[in-house]
Structure 1
Amino acid sequence: MGTDENRQTRRQGAREDFVRDTWYPVLESKRLGRRPVGVTRLGRKLVLWRDAQGQPVAQEAACPHRGADLSKGRVVSGCLECPYHGLRFAADGACVRVPCEGDARPIRADLRVKGFVVREGLGLVWLWWGEERNELPPLPWNHELPEAGAGSCTATLTWNVPFARVMEGNLDLHHFPFAHRRWAPGLGTLLDPYTARLEGDVIHTRGVLRRDDGKPWDGRSGFVAEIRVLFPHLVLLRFGSLTQGMAAATPIDEENTWVVFRYRSSLPLLGGLVAWFLVRTEVGLIQPEDYALLRDSEPRHPTREDFHLVRADAGIALWFRMYERRLEAQRRALPSGEGVESPEQGVHTSGEWGGDRASG
């Protein structure tokens, strides 16, 4: 098999599944009220609803009876009622009522709807995508991501861009002076110093966009940016000591991605306004430009071999290395990380930070 055929095989293989054993955000908590909500996430049509205690429930949207969309039903007495024939399903998936059969007739045991483990935190509903365990890990970065509420603002987007392309864009620092030149005129194009390193499942990147004056960085000039990514999909950004940002990407299916992002500012009195302004800027100005570029990038499902990466792409290289190896491990039906060579633990480039290459 030739090189091109090998590459095509790898690309097709990378689309067989999504990264498993991960908590994915699937909906803002405030969007889940008394009525069921239908979403497509991770290639599955889901129905989300709240039980009698107000806890979120996630189940397959297709009724096991004859396939009606349960998200078009209603919640009655703490159960989800099918809109087609009125069958009711409890939070554990068991059917508890079949009106056409009467209450006296036993309900067949296999009349169940498949469910998924969900938890609520940081103003989001998270779904566990992976093997069932007696004890699941806590929600990721629960104490580091910016909380919803006062001083914060959240927005969501649906992009016709595959998941890996979205994450590639999230790690790209040096596109800003070009893709967004209308909003940042005069921003330097040289990314130096720049470091990218891996600690566990966290990619740390830090760099300075500045003018190329042929001199080492003076420690003051330019725009300093710091991005951390908790593989595979959570991004944490810091802008000084008062403002924090986060973004998370969840595959809708192989071709589309749901993105949620949030800004939070602790600026006294004006924090909420600052967060609102940053989110509105993202939605109205920055993200449409990123979306247009990522949507039209080819191939839509790249591997590292499709790229000719440069020094400033070191963070992207680390992410794709982890992504391809994780999917390969899954295809071999191995537990995550077992029998798979560990990704390189760092990519360091020119420039000095006085020993502090990236924040912990």
Structure 2
Amino acid sequence: MRFIAILIVMFCPLTVQAETRQSSAGPLDVTLIADGLRTPWALAFLPDGGFLISERAGTLLRFAADGGSRTKIAGLPEVRSAGQGGLLDVLVPRDFAQSRQVYLSYSRPQAHGAGTAVGVGRLSADGARLEDFRVIFEMAPGSSGGRHFGSRLVEAPDGTLFATIGERGDRPAAQDLSRVHGSVVRIARDGSVPGDNPFAGRDGTRAEIWSFGHRNAQGAALDGEGRLWVTEHGARGGDEVNLIRRGANYGWPVISYGRHYSGAKIGEGTAREGMAQPAWYWDPSIAPSGLAILSDGLFDGWQGDFLAGSLKFDLISRLERQGDALVEAERLEWPETARVRDIREAPDGAIWFLSEDRGAIYRIAPAGK
């Protein structure tokens, strides 16, 4: 009987009362969608109303639309789950209904450690297996360290893919165009390099690089104009939100608004000619992970705003646009926002987020919607 009870808990839809939380957009319903997750890292929506969640240890879960029943997907690659590495982002492309492709970023084992990799497989008709999985991009060689893998995935308006790559704790590598450390890379869906990438055809450079001088970007999203923005971790202070421009250098570790954890100065200060400035920075650091840029959807007064999860302060930071600059307008701090790892706008305009510490996924919507 105890076994039957466990099955009922695992596979029956959740019936959870929404909690009402206050915000500048009025009262909001915060509803638990699913829990029992182990270090969740990313979520992605499926066209049938279901969704996928990656767990850093190397598990990819498919949930039915009600959030109750879940399937552990087979056919995943081997990951090196150590430190900050493991199975990281998951991306469902716009043509999933035809292609059934699912893209993953993860720390791939290598001879001397691990490197950030991107791969793709086809979700089987029953949704239980990734078929014909293959690697289409890899940071090689990586590093024996366990930090700064990145690694968010975004499908660009033209169908190419952006992936954020951390500098793996090797600070000077973020300024070395012969390596992909500390960069945003742009590749085609098959892993080939688009001919209009800024460093394509240039000797001594990695042609995948779209922008460089990043430390560890763990949030990425497109705005309403199709432009890419990322959030990235600084050191002690200096977490940034950056508007990503083709070929631009974002300065790490030459310039920063933070300091080393020892308190020592980083590089040359906060500015240098030829290096891009952030649209916003946090000091002290909030450890941003996950980024959503809202459409003209459900939330009065929040249209076009940015929502960034915080791993350090257990909150969601809401930022408003002022041209190409940003300003923090509000902090959403609730019992549910414990170490927010990922945040997304759902197809219906609601906001979903992953709480790593609670092992849960929540939905936010205006009260009654």
TM-score normalised by length of structure 2: 0.24
Decide which structure has greater strand share.
2
Q: Taking CA–CA contacts closer than 8 Å with sequence separation of 6 or more, which of the two structures ends up with the larger relative contact order?
A: 1
* Larger Rg, first or second structure (1 or 2): 1
- What is the TM-score of this pair, normalised by structure 1? 0.24
